[in-house]
Amino acid sequence: MLETKHNIFVLVGNAHKFSGENFVLTDMAEVAELIDNGLQEIASDGKLILDQDFMMGILKLILDKVQTFKKYMEFMFEEHTCYAVGS
């Protein structure tokens, strides 16, 4: 859940940069609703929190709308990998 909060702060903190992508700060209400719906589903079925496709799909509507944020999310969760020392 900490990752979700961080990513939302990235979205809010850079909303002014996304105005050219048809996203403004008032669109955060839509983001909040998407997250709320996702959390309600997780509350009903706790195993969903371990489902990467479900977790990434929570913000799919925003990712499809704001390509810069989508690229950031892809970097953070698909390209940005860390390996433990000695692995």
Domain annotation covers residue 34:
yes
Q: What's the rounded Cα separation, in Å, for the pair 14 and 9?
A: 8
- Given the structure tokens 């390509």, which residue do they identify? 67
Q: Could you give the number of structural domains in the chain?
A: 1
Q: Which domain holds residue 43?
A: 2-79
With cut-offs at 50, 70 and 90, classify the pLDDT of residue 76.
confident
3-state helix, strand, coil in the chain (%, to 5): 80, 0, 20
pLDDT digits (tens, 9 = 90+) for 12-67: 677 667 767 777 777 888 888 999 999 999 999 999 999 988 988 998 998 888 88
Domain annotation covers residue 87:
no
With cut-offs at 50, 70 and 90, classify the pLDDT of residue 70.
confident
**Alpha-carbon dihedral sign for residues 61, 66, 70, 76:** negative
Domain annotation covers residue 16:
yes
* C-alpha pair distances (Å), 28 with each of 1, 10, 23, 45: 18, 12, 9, 25
